[in-house]
Chains A and B, each alone.
Chain A
Amino acid sequence: MAERSFSREVQDLRLGAGDELHGEGILAITKALLQSGVSYVGGYQGAPISHLMDVLADAQGLLDELGVHFESSASEAAAAATLAASVMYPLRGAVTWKSTAGTNVASDALSNLSSSGVLGGALIVIGEDYGEGSSIMQERSHAFAMKSQIWLMDPRPNLPSIVAAVEAGFELSEASSTPVMLEVRIRACHVHGSFRTKDNVKPAFTLHDALNAPKRDTGRIVLPPASFIHEKDKIERRWPAAVAFIRDRQLNERFGPQDAEIGLILQGGMYNVTLRALQQLGLADVYGESLVAMYVLNVTYPLVDDEVIAFAAGKHAVLVIEEGQPEFLEQAIATLLRRRDIQTRLSGKDVLPMAGEYTAEVLVRGLSTFITTHDRRLLGNAPPVPDPGPTLAEPAVAALAKVVPPRPAGFCTGCPERPIFAAMKLVEQELGPRLVSADIGCHLFSILPPFELGATTMGYGLGPASSSAFNVTSGGRGQRPLSVMGDGGFWHNGLTSGIGNAVYNKQDGVILVVDNFYSAATGGQDILSSRAFNAGRATNNSLVTAIRGIGVKWVRHVNRTYNVAQMRDILREAFTTPEGGPKVIVASSECMLNKQRRIRPLLAAARKAGKRQVVERFGVDSDVCTGDHACIRLSGCPSLSVKHTDDPLRDDPVAVIDESCVGCGNCGEVAEAAVLCPSFYRADVIHNPSWIDRTLAALRTRVIAALQRRRAVARVVFA
């Protein structure tokens, strides 16, 4: 079960015609899919569309009622391939993933799908993970659209526009036999707003209808000569059909005085921020009234050439506001203007930055340059633009740069991955540094302080493969590399591209599979090896069995990662054993964030019912702790911090564990394994003790108290 529950919100998916839905972008997208009569949905989780998958999972009941099949795909490639159902049948389908990371994975299927073309509407909802908050390389999905001729929608970031785009997307797909990508940026996925709903639509043609009347057409299969015909069909039929649809349905929008001297051509997703920038320059208001002409591309690929020309012709200059690089739109528009011999001045990346997110700040700068150059009169009465510059230049404020610490995401309190990397650190101290290949997932936080382990990431599930070139350690001519991979990456593709690859190539390296029972980094979704029972999915598939099954001989399983000494010993063995081929260690313990969410209510209920219960928490004896913080350098746990004491003989703060401690045990294990210091203790608080507990405790207390009194009496100390 995912970490965030949408069980309350999904009730809103039942709203009908004329109702008002208040909620996040992803909820609106889900509702729009249901209003569009979708037959099947699938996808792979990842910010910013993780919650879309969670909403769909939580809406399973409603999906069943509507006859919508929902698949938690094994990867984006699997999700994209699911759209094959729309090639031959009038079935509407939608899939979703994080882009461009997921689109990279999906692109094999996408290329085939777009070559074949579709009969039913095929919609790909991509979370464009670009700019602040992004966790991946900064690229554009636009390139995929162009190379495969998949249409790309980029609606204005408000719920009514996004919902309208989903609905129009299916129709566009069907009108042009082409899959459509719908791009939503990070903040748009999480934007809270409202829109008027329509009734949900049950698909008229069902998956069963298709199953019971199978169809085939060799002409739709990507194989010569059909593949050559597909390319021609794309250019000669599908593309013009798409352009006609976009034009006739007026999917792109125009705002402001169209006869103005200058105009802006922008991606739909850039609309709100552009409007805010214009507002700052005194050229627009909060209700969208603008003194500058705007042509808003809710569909950024393909362009409707005639609309672009109609907008640009007669203007002195147009500015293309296009986030990211390369500047595909600007290049296309430049080509178009040149071919039609239109002399309107074209501006874009000359006044706006080529790379990086377009914030209001960035756009204010670019727009003022553009307007100053081409229509200076407009800025005559411009109010002063908000400028934090003078404040930032104040010495008191500038001084903050020295004290405000970076605060990157890191392992949570009690995270089971922390002891794995603490053990790694200990082995590193013993055997020296080695090459570590990291992967995608929470375990990637190992690259940050305090662990600082891991040199490269090559993609999800590709950690082991990225050590491949270093398979030259036989005969002890070098330290064996360590490759890390999570359970999520393992099932995504790592079993074959990582472990199978290592087996076949006889790689003499060590592969560490971090198994936390969930796809944890993306929000705790279940995967094949999840230990939870999931009525709709087959969980509890063993990683170790899969690893042995693919041919690994040396496999070790640590079933409690908090056992730092065991973890350290197994790592040492893996690094030093004479055995050839890949050495695979599976380190399993449940993701603490999800575990706490799962067990807290259960424990509270049991405690209330009077059941005996032991709650563990850790503490530090502050007068034993010497303030060296070696424990923190092997942990970094949020609940383990330092505090100054009132002891006048101490200069340095001592370690302290706050009440957020979940008693995972890492502190004690690390102190023990690393021979750190005896200041850590574990306190077991026994709730609802049994009579045996109570009797034993009373006896012990009597003896101990007597001894304590004896010593206290004999001792000369200041009171």
Chain B
Amino acid sequence: MNDVAPLRPALSTARPISLAILAMGGQGGGVLADWIVALGEAQGWHVQSTSVPGVAQRTGATIYYIEMLKTDGRQPTLSLMPMPGDVDIVLAAELMEAGRSMLRGLVTPERTVLIASTHRSLAVSEKSAPGDGEGDPDLVRLAAGTAARRVIAFDMQSLAERVGSVISAAMFGALAGSGRLPFDRDAFEAAIRAGGKGVEPSLRAFSLGFEAARGPVSPRPLRKGIEKRFDSLPDQAGHPALDALLARIRSGFPDVLHPMLFAGVQRLVAYQDPAYAAEYLDLVVAFVAHGLGEAAAKYIAVAMAYDDVIRVADLKTTASRFARVQDEMAVTDRQLLATTEFMHPRGEEVVGLLPVRLGRAVMGRPGVFRLIDRVVNRPRRVRTHTVFWFGVLYAVAGLRRHRRAMLRHAEEMAHRDAWLAEAMRLAPVHPRLAGEMLAARRLVKGYSDTHARGLGKFDRVMAAVPLLEVRADGADWMRRLVLAAQADEQGRALDGALRTIATLDVG
């Protein structure tokens, strides 16, 4: 090292193009990074990539970072990590990862092209909530509109799946399509070919990604899930009992309620029979006058189509279910399919099938109940594709004819009637609260312990009605209680909300 002071050097203004890839372990972020490196190097650029894999590879969020520079022949010094506010291209392999890139400040309107797949892969925290814990995807779209210089966003996952490839190939296509890197399409494709693995499917996904990135930007908001399917009311159903139901809907209810009522009637006819659906319509009618027709039409149907073993056996044995499983498992003609159900009936389920008086008698004799429980309460691997097990389920499904006489049915109907009576009582004076009480039915779901827990939450929410009916904002509190009840399994949030209500001044 010489100690002679050098002249003040003129600084080069060259700056590298920087790319950050946000992916989850197993999504092929590393493959994408390798392609980009190969692409740049093949074009004579200096490319440096880094990553922080380690344990993050195990399904966690991972970030890969690449810088590339067309040098003047000297060796450049590139950075090993993205600097917030200084990233040219962000590639996010999932919608919320795109959100994360923005939260980290990697996306800024001065320079960043955000290329994101809009599909969702739910995090554990989102899917383990007893209700709907999924984050609102449209918030990411709105933020991207503010944060990014340009947004290229579409469902790259399903695009890639459509051609039997992986998301990284579609993303590489979108990167090429963005035009942000000064290389032509052939150069990108050459990088895929040079990689040598799954070249043809990758090129197909690449091509789709490329085209989609050049297409128009969709202005549509992102929605969770899919649209609800409402069948339009048919003119004729081909059976007098069904036609009678249709006629009742048409003549007895306002048009806006027809889709939901028809959904309810369809469900209950399949669940039990046309008479059961007629009983349902009788119950809904009373609520229509108070403007609660929609909620009543939905939740009375839910309550009446409660989950029991007959319904499960029925759903598991229909021809359409067999066809659906074939389809979902993509079984070809040259393959065979065998299905095994994992069931665990308990004494309660069996006793629930007994006629009301007999069932009550058994429940009143713990010794007898225990005996029954000991015989039936064990895991059953039900091999539905075999004649024997199909026959068992088929027979259970056939008990549908006798359902109305069974203990479980009597209990469900008593519970339903008490709930509806309470809602009806409040409907004239506090219609919004009554509506929220109807909607609280969503808490009751599942089987065995899960069902008991849901029912318990429902009953505790209902027990708060006397405190709420004296409040102007009672309906809002009811809605909050239902949300709180779904926040966690044990009902801790519900406890908290109930305590809060107990301390409220009468408002």
- State the A residues within 8 Å of B (CB): 22, 47-48, 129, 132-135, 157-158, 186-188, 190-193, 250, 253-254, 257-259, 271-273, 275-276, 279-280, 282, 284-289, 291, 359-361, 385-389, 391-392, 394, 396-397, 399-413, 442, 445, 448-450, 521, 565, 593, 617, 619, 621, 623-624, 626-630, 632-633, 636, 638, 640-649, 651-653, 667-669, 671-678, 680-689, 693-694, 697, 699-700, 703-705, 707-709, 711-712, 716-719
Taking a contact as CB atoms under 8 Å apart, the answer to whether A716 and B228 are in contact is no
A686 touches B124 (CB 8 A): no
Specify which chain B residues have a CB less than 8 angstroms from the CB of A693 in the assembled complex: 336
Say whether B344 contacts A672, CB under 8 Å. yes
Residue of A at shortest CB range from B307?
Answer: A626
Which residues of B lie under 8 Å from residue A442 when comparing CB positions? 55, 58
Q: Are A407 and B80 in contact (CB under 8 A)?
A: no
Alpha-carbon gap, A392 to B102, bound state (A): 8
> A685, B329: Cβ atoms under 8 Å?
yes
Q: How far is the CB of A162 from chain B (nearest CB, A)?
A: 12
Q: Does B422 contact A (CB under 8 A)?
A: no
Select B329's contact among A48, A259, A448, A619, beta carbons within 8 Å.
A619
Residues of A within 8 A of B145 (CB): 396
Contact residue among A188, A409, A629 (Cβ-Cβ distance under 8 Å from B25):
A409
Instruction: Enumerate chain B residues within 8 angstroms of A649, measured Cβ to Cβ.
Output: 263-264, 267, 298, 301-302, 305
A132-B81, A193-B48, A649-B267 in contact; A400/B59 too (CB < 8 A)? no
Give every chain B residue within 8 A of A389 (Cβ-Cβ). Answer: 105
Closest 7 CB pairs of A and B: A644-B225, A133-B52, A388-B105, A386-B85, A403-B135, A409-B60, A47-B54
Given A405-B96, A646-B228, A678-B312, also A448-B270 (CB < 8 A) = no
- Contact partners of A360 in chain B: CB under 8 A: 79, 81, 83, 86
Contact indicator A133/B329 (Cβ below 8 Å): no
CB distance from B298 to the nearest CB of A (A): 6
A286 to B, closest residue via Cβ: B76
Query: Of residues 15 to 71 in B, which have CB atoms within 8 Å of A's CB atoms?
Result: 15-16, 24-26, 37, 41, 47-61, 69, 71
Assembled-state Cα–Cα distance A386/B263 (Å): 56
Apart from A259-B5, A386-B110, A391-B109, what are 8 other A-B pairs with CB-CB below 8 Å? A276-B77, A291-B8, A391-B147, A400-B99, A630-B446, A638-B59, A645-B226, A685-B336
**In whole angstroms, what is the CA distance A250 to B2 when docked?**
11
Number of interface residues of B (CB under 8 A): 155
Closest residue to A520 on the B side, CB-wise?
A: B58
Interface status of B188 (Cβ within 8 A of chain A): no
Would you give 21 A-B contacts (Cβ < 8 Å), ordered by A?
A: A187-B50, A187-B80, A192-B50, A193-B48, A254-B1, A286-B16, A286-B69, A449-B125, A521-B58, A626-B446, A628-B445, A629-B129, A641-B127, A649-B302, A649-B305, A671-B344, A681-B384, A686-B336, A694-B336, A704-B390, A716-B241
Chain A positions within 8 Å of B435 at CB level: none
Residues of A within 8 A of B363 (CB): none
Task: Tell me if B58 and A412 are in contact (CB < 8 A).
Answer: yes
List B contacts of A633 (CB < 8 A): 128, 489
Q: In whole Å, how far is A266's beta carbon from the nearest beta carbon of chain B? A: 13
Contact B273 A716 (CB under 8 A): yes
Residues of chain B in range 67-118 having any CB-CB distance to chain A below 8 Å: 69, 71-72, 74-81, 83-86, 96-97, 99-100, 102-103, 105-110
Chain B CB count within 10 A is highest, among A22, A272, A397, A633, for A397
CB contacts (< 8 Å) of B230 on chain A: these are: 648
Most central of B224, B329, B386 by chain A CB within 10 Å: B329
A387, B12: Cα distance in complex, Å: 22
Contacts A396-B143, A626-B450 known; A287 to B341 CB distance under 8 Å?
no
- Residue in contact with A626 in the complex, picked from B237, B336, B398, B445, CB distance below 8 Å: B445
Comparing B202-210, B313-321, B426-434, the segment that makes contact with chain A is: B313-321
- Residues of B within 8 Å of A643, CB to CB, are 225
Complex-state Cα separation, A361 to B128, whole angstroms = 36
Question: Is B139 at the interface (CB under 8 A from chain A)?
Answer: yes
Determine whether B229 belongs to the interface, using a CB cutoff of 8 Å to chain A.
yes
Contacts of B186 in A (CB 8 A): none
Residues of A within 8 A of B369 (CB): none
Look across to chain A and name the residue whose beta carbon is closest to the beta carbon of B161: A659
How far is the CB of B201 from the nearest CB of chain A, in Å?
Answer: 15
What's the Cα separation between A391 and B60 when bound, in Å?
26
Instruction: State how many angstroms separate the Cβ of A141 from the closest Cβ of chain B.
Output: 17
Are A628 and B450 touching (Cβ within 8 A)? yes
Closest chain A residue to B269, Cβ basis:
A717
Task: Determine the chain B residues whose CB is within 8 A of the CB of A135 once the complex forms.
Answer: 54-55
Cβ–Cβ < 8 Å partners of B5 in chain A: 257-259
Within residues 210 to 269 of chain B, which ones have a CB less than 8 A from any CB in chain A? Answer: 224-230, 234, 237-239, 241-242, 259-260, 263-267, 269
Query: A571 CA to B400 CA in the complex, in Å?
Result: 41
Residue-by-residue, is B265-280 near A (CB-CB < 8 Å gives 1, otherwise 0)? 1110110011000000
Q: Smallest distance from the beta carbon of B311 to chain A beta carbons, Å?
A: 8
B300 to chain A, nearest CB (A): 10
Q: How far is the CB of A244 from chain B (nearest CB, A)?
A: 16
A388 to B402, CA, bound (A): 67
> In the complex, A512 Cα to B418 Cα: how many Å?
50
Contact residues in B for A259 (Cβ distance below 8 Å):
5
From residue B377, how far is it (CB to closest CB) to chain A in Å? 8
Q: Is the CB of B260 within 8 A of A648?
A: yes
